[in-house]
Structure 1
Amino acid sequence: MLTRIDHIGIACRDLEATVDFYSRTYGFEVFHTEVNQEQGVREAMLRINGTDDGGASYLQLLEPIREDSAVATWMAKNGEGVHHIAFGTADVDGDAEAIRGKGVRVLYDEPRRGSMDSRITFLHPKDCHGVLTELVTAATPDNQHATPGDTQH
């Protein structure tokens, strides 16, 4: 069962300038940064609030590091802006399978590693009224591991 909005992903050309804007304008602070080689992005997670289920809501700022990354390809067509919305779930595998059973295309056969050691998959935007939708199971503190150079709070 989807429990919350985990994050809204925003594609940007300059991660530092975009972080600066959200920090100065809204007072949001960086909670976590990392480079996700598999996804081809540098990212910053800005925490908005906590939730009753122990998760939080974030803005995820994404700067492509490769021209062939999904975010770079999307930005070439759309420019900077909202890239996707992500919903939190305790069971990304089960929820993805249930949603697939309702005729929605799930983009990954098996969930992949996402930000902060989460497990993620995406739903096809053409099946979700034009919105690229991500399902996220957050890592627990017991299984969350920092990669060298990552910032985690």
Structure 2
Amino acid sequence: MFMRIDHIGIACHDLEEKISLFSSTFDLTVVAREVNEEQGVKEAMLHVADGEGGGSYIQLLEPLSPDSPVGRFLAKRGEGVHHVAFGVPDVERAMAEIGGKGVRLLDERPRHGSMGSQIAFLHPKDVGGMLTELVQAPTP
């Protein structure tokens, strides 16, 4: 079902500061930036590597407001890993298969994700306490 780890989402207070840190420390390059109003974040995708199933990234997330999901995460836990995202060939099929195994879905249907992808989240309490995202890359 999973093709790769698509990205690791990292919550931060200052997007520009963390871009500078990851760029200078790990030689990562920003390949996309966007504001996602629906999710309440400013984000940057930093390219890590390409593999057989596609690229892998670090996604830096700065909340647009303290009451957004990432804003609440930062207030409760501080900066750090927010979620792990797995690349799947078909997000709707993956949702149906995983949901059929009793895992609660946070999304009823896929929604817009970074760089034109389709995404859905799984309930962390059903997957070992880890917020998990399913990512279907855009069709070329």
Q: TM-score interval w.r.t. the shorter chain? A: over 0.9
Percent identity reads 57
For residues 1-20 of structure 1, the aligned pairs below 5 Å read 1-20=1-20
| Number of residue pairs the alignment of both structures matches | 140
Q: Tell me the C-alpha RMSD between the 2 structures.
A: 0.7
Classify the secondary structure of the residue corresponding to 2:76. helix
Q: What amino acid does structure 2 have at the position aligned with 1:56?
A: G
2:49 paired residue number:
49
TM-score scaled to structure 2, two decimals? 0.98
Equivalent residue, structure 1, for 2:110: 111
Q: Residues of 2 paired with 1:8 and 1:125: CA distance?
A: 15
Which ranges of structure 1 fall in alignment gaps of 5 or more residues? 142-153
Deviation string, structure 1 residues 87-131 (Cα, Å, up to 9, x no partner): 000100000110001110010001100001100000111011110
Length-normalised TM-score, structure 1: 0.89
**Is residue 2:16 matched to residue 1:36?**
no
Counterpart Cα distance in 2 of 1:89 and 1:44: 21
Superposed displacement of residue 9, structure 1: 0.1
AA at the equivalent of 1:57: S
Deviation at 1:28, TM superposition (A): 0.5
SS in structure 1 opposite 2:129? coil
Structure 1 stretches of at least 4 aligned residues deviating more than 2 Å after TM superposition: none
Q: Which runs of 5+ in 2 are unaligned?
A: none
Q: Which residue of 2 aligns with 1:149?
A: none
